[in-house]
């Protein structure tokens, strides 16, 4: 009885390890996803979506500006999607 229980435990561990290995090598992005969505910061955006990026653009210690960049999800000639800049603003702090 101990041999049967030990054998069953080892079989379960081996199947769990192989399932975990398959999950760790699987891609989280499905095949062909670049033709359906633009990706930014872990999120998927549909074509013609806009995002606004805001960040500090420090030129020197005395001149500091805030830069805002508007990007649009654009379909390329090959059918893939990518972010294209629409406009950029610089504001003094």
What is the torsional sign of CA 12, 18, 19, 20?
Answer: positive
Residue boundaries of the structural domains of the chain: 2-92
Report pTM. 0.55
> Each residue's pLDDT tens digit in the chain (93 positions)?
455 565 555 565 566 555 555 555 666 666 777 678 888 888 889 999 999 888 876 666 666 778 888 999 999 898 889 999 998 777 766
Q: What is the pLDDT of residue 53?
A: 87
């Amino acid at each position: 009885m101990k041999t049967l229980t030990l054998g069953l435990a080892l079989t379960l561990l081996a199947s769990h390890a192989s399932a975990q290995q398959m999950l760790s090598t699987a891609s989280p992005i499905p095949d062909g996803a670049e033709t359906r969505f633009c990706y930014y910061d872990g999120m998927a955006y549909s074509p013609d979506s806009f995002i606004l990026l805001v960040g500090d653009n420090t030129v020197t210690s005395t001149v500091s500006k805030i830069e805002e960049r508007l990007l649009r999800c654009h379909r390329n000639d090959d059918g893939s999607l990518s972010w294209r800049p629409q406009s950029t603003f610089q504001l003094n702090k």
